[in-house]
């Protein structure tokens, strides 16, 4: 293969290269097929928004470990703090003994999350664990069993969180039965609203559906929590309409229901504010965080009203590895880095560039049907026909593979798996951003022409 070089992308072999193919063959033999594989690239190293594979190819990362790397790969302050902590203490378990870094991180989360009331936090390893803890706290506080969730949501892969998650075919098929006392309501998916409705009319109808469910499906007196993402992640980067969010908040306050906001993917600057819920003039009772909290270290947290967080009995929450010292110092330094470098504002700038490009694609390429999101957390929805909005599911996968062959790693999303979602590091410079977007646009055009759609 002829060497292909742009300003950052440098391809010296085909993608995947020979070493990547060999390791992928070993993966096929050793690793369960149940673990998905978005691209065939085998990564060796990464710095900032740039990764290098085992074959020496240099690529741009528009997936960021599925939204984990807001501060980019291997940021120096985080790496240095982790190295020092590794030399001092790797693990002790917060149930056995306390480390100052655990307390310091909880203090920091209590400080930066919305709400001027007394707050407390608990640390865990994954977003799913954190969701489980949030529901436990809500149930313990309200002494109620029921939880309301939404179509298109994703909250994890444990039994409870899988029960809360939508998209049955990909995440739930063959794994039932699921947890009880879960009530799933329609979510305001504006692009696919009934054609006779305006956006406002559709939001009104969704509000009516929510209120109707409190009679038709479950009485409010039985509901412990309403859980939702301010911008649905796996659901296709669909923001909650502000009026809808505020109505849910109002109903939760009226009925003593805990509002639980899942900011696993939206949190830590990606939407243009430290937390997306800040844009809704709503204060949740519990906020769930993970992913970009610790630059790639396993870390998640829930932070909420002190009285809600203290409701479980002593020993009712916890785990062996939650809040391990190395992950704690990584999270502290990551949050400091986000604040010191004003990455939420950077996310708005990235979002402006993305939206301008995506809207141009939407005008020029019929397959690009919808552009949506908040801040830099933007996606495009791809269809085969704008009239009936047939999802371009297989074509979306083809575009991802085509982009990978030309040096950009990205992933899909959406209820129909037909959205390209942008989760690049917020530290990505403009020139790398535009370089990667050019590759993605070329990939979309290539597949659209192949399908006779351009």
pLDDT by residue (tens digit) across 65-100? Answer: 999 999 999 999 999 999 999 999 999 999 999 999
DSSP state of 191: G
Quote the CA–CA distance of 281 and 224 in Å, as a whole number: 22
**Residue 5, strand partner residues:** 10
Handedness of CA 381, 382, 388, 391 (dihedral sign): negative
Pseudo-torsion of CA 56, 61, 66, 67, nearest 10°? 140
For the entire predicted model, the pTM comes to: 0.96
* Residue 1: pLDDT band with limits 50, 70, 90: very low
Quote the CA–CA distance of 108 and 41 in Å, as a whole number: 37
Share of residues in the chain with pLDDT > 70 (%)? 99
* Token pair listed for 270: 């990606």
* Domain 93-338 CATH (choose: 3.40.50.150, 3.30.360.10, 2.60.120.10, 3.40.640.10): 3.40.640.10
- Rounded to whole angstroms, the maximal C-alpha distance in the chain is 67
CB atoms within 10 A of CB 146: 21
pLDDT in tens, 113-165: 999 999 999 999 999 999 999 999 999 999 999 999 999 999 999 999 999 99
> What pLDDT shows up at residue 205?
98
Asked if the model's pLDDT at residue 5 lies above 60, the reply is no
Asked if the model's pLDDT at residue 176 lies above 90, the reply is no
DSSP state of 15: S
Asked if the model's pLDDT at residue 4 lies above 80, the reply is no
pLDDT in tens, 327-354: 999 999 999 999 999 999 999 999 999 9
Quote the CA–CA distance of 392 and 409 in Å, as a whole number: 19
Quote the CA–CA distance of 72 and 68 in Å, as a whole number: 9
Pseudo-torsion of CA 251, 305, 129, 418, nearest 10°? 40
When the pLDDT of each residue in the chain is averaged and rounded to a whole number, the result is 97
Element of type H or E holding 288? strand 286-289
Hey, what long-range contacts does 360-368 have (CB within 8 A, 24 or more apart)?
361/441, 361/444, 365/444, 365/445, 365/448, 365/453, 365/454, 366/448, 366/453, 366/454, 367/392, 367/395, 367/444, 367/447, 367/448, 367/451, 367/453, 367/454, 368/444
> What pLDDT shows up at residue 49?
98
* Residue 167: pLDDT band with limits 50, 70, 90: confident
Asked if the model's pLDDT at residue 3 lies above 90, the reply is no
* Residue 2: pLDDT band with limits 50, 70, 90: very low
pLDDT in tens, 252-306: 999 999 999 999 999 999 999 999 999 999 999 999 999 999 999 999 999 999 9
Residue 18: name the closest of 54, 48, 45 by CA: 54
Exposed, middle or buried: residue 157 (CB in 10 Å: 0-12, 13-18, 19+)?
Answer: middle
User: What is the CA angle 259-420-441, rounded to 5?
Assistant: 145
**Range with the lowest mean pLDDT among 5-19, 290-304, 377-391, 396-410?**
5-19
């Amino acid at each position: 293969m002829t060497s292909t070089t742009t300003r950052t992308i440098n391809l010296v072999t085909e993608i995947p290269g020979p070493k990547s193919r060999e390791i992928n063959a070993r993966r096929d033999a050793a690793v369960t097929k149940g673990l998905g594989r978005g691209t065939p690239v085998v990564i060796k190293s990464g710095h900032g928004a740039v990764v290098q594979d085992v074959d020496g190819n240099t690529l741009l990362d528009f997936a960021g470990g599925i939204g984990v790397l807001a501060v980019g790969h291997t940021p120096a302050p985080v790496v240095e703090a982790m190295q020092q902590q590794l030399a001092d203490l790797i693990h002790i378990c917060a149930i056995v003994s306390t480390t100052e870094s655990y307390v310091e991180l909880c203090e920091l989360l209590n400080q930066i999350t919305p709400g001027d009331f007394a707050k407390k936090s608990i640390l865990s390893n994954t977003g799913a664990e954190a969701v489980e803890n949030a529901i436990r706290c809500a149930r313990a506080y309200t002494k109620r069993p029921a939880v309301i969730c939404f179509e298109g949501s994703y909250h994890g892969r444990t039994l409870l969180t899988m029960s809360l998650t939508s998209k049955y075919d990909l995440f739930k098929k063959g794994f039932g039965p699921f947890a009880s006392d879960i009530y799933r309501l329609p979510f305001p998916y504006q692009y696919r609203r009934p054609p006779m409705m305006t956006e406002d009319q559709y939001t009104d109808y969704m509000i009516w559906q929510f209120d109707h469910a409190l009679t038709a499906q479950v009485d409010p007196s039985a509901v412990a929590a309403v859980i939702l993402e301010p911008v649905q992640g796996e659901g296709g980067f669909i923001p909650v309409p502000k009026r809808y969010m505020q109505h849910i908040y109002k109903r939760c306050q009226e009925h003593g229901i805990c509002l639980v906001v899942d900011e696993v993917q939206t949190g830590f600057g990606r939407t243009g504010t430290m937390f997306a819920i800040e844009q809704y003039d709503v204060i949740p009772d519990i906020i769930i965080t993970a992913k970009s909290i610790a630059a790639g270290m396993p870390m998640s947290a829930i932070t909420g009203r002190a009285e809600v967080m203290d409701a479980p009995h002593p020993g009712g929450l916890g785990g062996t590895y939650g809040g391990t010292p190395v992950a704690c110092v990584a999270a502290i330094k990551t949050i400091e880095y986000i604040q010191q470098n004003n990455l939420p504002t950077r996310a708005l700038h990235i979002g402006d560039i993305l939206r301008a490009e995506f809207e141009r694609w939407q005008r020029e390429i019929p397959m690009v049907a919808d552009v949506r999101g908040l801040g830099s957390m933007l996606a495009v929805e791809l269809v085969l026909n704008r009239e009936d909005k047939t999802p371009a599911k297989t074509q979306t996968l083809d575009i991802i593979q085509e982009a990978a062959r030309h040096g950009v790693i990205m992933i899909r999303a959406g209820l129909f798996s037909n959205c390209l979602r942008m989760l690049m590091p917020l530290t990505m410079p403009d020139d790398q951003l535009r370089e990667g977007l050019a590759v993605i646009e070329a990939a979309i055009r290539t597949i659209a022409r192949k399908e006779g759609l351009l």
